[in-house]
């Protein structure tokens, strides 16, 4: 709907890739609906994935012993995080929906995207004890993980060699997004695009565009272990 804000966090090196096309489809489709869409293209930005002392501007809370969690929390409170983090947090703060677009690497997200999670979702900004899970600080936001796999769909079935694809979503959807209070829409998975015809890849893009048309009517998944492990 008009006025909704979307942040697409995108991790792929090649704009011509299927991931690049999926990102473009999301931007076009959602813009057409009147949403305002921002893209964080992590590789193009040369986003720093490492959580280091450089993320803290000025004096440390404890200069004797560096504790990233404590230092980033204290820096957030006093407005002393590095500019790249402040920028990303602003985008997250404004977004109604976060779309994460990436190729699955080793049952997880690429390092550059994991680094985005590690550095941007600071305590005090995204969660605060005991304000996590349903009372996480980013409640009222939605997230959607859209990704491609190397393996085919039947490799990611429950009884097969890789196990149910939902097992892999537990750390990403539950351990990160739900932990911060974000409600999660069903993932969008393009299985083994490298091993299918050009025709099939086109169909994948069309299916994504179709889904985006009615995305705002979707109900979030049931945020409990049952969804992942039943």
Kindly report the CATH number assigned to the domain that includes residue 141: 3.40.50.360
What's the pLDDT score for residue 31? 97
What's the pLDDT score for residue 199? 97
CA 21 from centre of chain: 17
83-94 and 111-120 helices, crossing angle to 10°: 90
CA 19 from centre of chain: 14
What's the pLDDT score for residue 66? 98
Tally of structural domains, the chain = 1
What's the pLDDT score for residue 85? 98
Beta strand extents in 150-208 (DSSP E only): 183-184, 188-190
Q: Tokens 């997880």 correspond to what residue?
A: 108
Distances (CA, A) of 71 to 56, 86, 110: 7, 15, 25
Q: Which residue segment(s) compose the domain that 187 sits in?
A: 5-229
What's the pLDDT score for residue 230? 87
Q: What is the mean pLDDT of each run of 10 residues along the chain (230 residues)?
A: 93 98 98 97 98 97 97 98 98 98 98 98 97 96 98 94 96 98 98 96 98 98 94
């Amino acid at each position: 709907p008009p006025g909704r804000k979307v942040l697409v966090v995108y991790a792929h090196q090649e704009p011509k890739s299927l991931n690049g096309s999926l990102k473009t489809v999301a931007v076009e489709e959602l813009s057409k609906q009147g949403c305002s869409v921002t893209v964080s293209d992590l590789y193009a930005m040369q986003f720093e994935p490492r959580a280091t002392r450089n993320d803290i501007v000025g004096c440390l809370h404890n200069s004797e012993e560096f504790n990233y969690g404590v230092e980033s929390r204290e820096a957030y409170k006093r407005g002393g995080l590095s500019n790249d983090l402040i920028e990303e947090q602003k985008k997250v703060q404004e977004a109604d929906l976060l779309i994460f677009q990436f190729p699955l690497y080793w049952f997880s997200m690429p390092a550059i995207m994991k680094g985005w999670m590690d550095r941007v979702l600071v305590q005090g900004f995204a969660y605060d004890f005991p304000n996590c899970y349903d009372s996480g600080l980013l409640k009222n936001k939605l997230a959607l993980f859209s990704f491609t796999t190397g393996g085919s769909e039947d490799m990611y079935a429950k009884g097969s060699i890789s196990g149910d694809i939902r097992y892999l979503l537990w750390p990403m959807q539950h351990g990160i997004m739900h932990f911060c209070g974000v409600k999660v829409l069903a993932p969008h998975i393009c299985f083994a695009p490298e091993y299918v015809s050009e025709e099939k890849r086109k169909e994948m893009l069309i299916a994504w565009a179709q889904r985006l048309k009615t995305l705002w009517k979707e109900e979030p998944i049931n945020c409990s272990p049952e969804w992942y492990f039943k």
